[in-house]
Amino acid sequence: MSTRRVCFRLQVKPGLIEEYIRRHAAVWPEMLQALKSSGWNNYSLFLRADGLLIGYFETDNLPEAQARMAATDVNARWQTEMSGFFEDLDGAPDTGFLQLTEVFNLEDQLAAAAAALTQTHSKGD
């Protein structure tokens, strides 16, 4: 199965931005391990000054990774603590985010161009 890149958007409430940053400066070790063992890889969060939050991670299967996290006690505690930080959230933060559509990836396009070039050269021989 191929790795899927997932990018999402949430909006942190303006008055809670500093606290959100503080909470993420030292995420609970149990939560970090649960994310990793559940298949949330290369996970990053990016926060703009107005509270726009962009998250990115890679996983083999998004629904399975979310289900594995949902089955952990630490995730239930973390999501309860984090849910009050966001505006217009439909569900828990780890499932209620707005997923963005990937429209460009450098490595994918380089690989496709190299494959096309190889195919062109092999037909010409």
List residues with catalytic annotation: 24
Residues with Cβ within 8 Å of 31's Cβ and at least 6 positions away in sequence, in order, are 74, 75, 78
CA distances 103 to 1, 4, 7, 16, Å, are 21, 13, 11, 31
Residues 6 or more apart whose CB falls under 8 angstroms from that of 118 comprise none
**Angle formed by the axes of helices 29-37 and 73-82, nearest 10°:** 110
**Greatest CA separation found in the chain?**
65
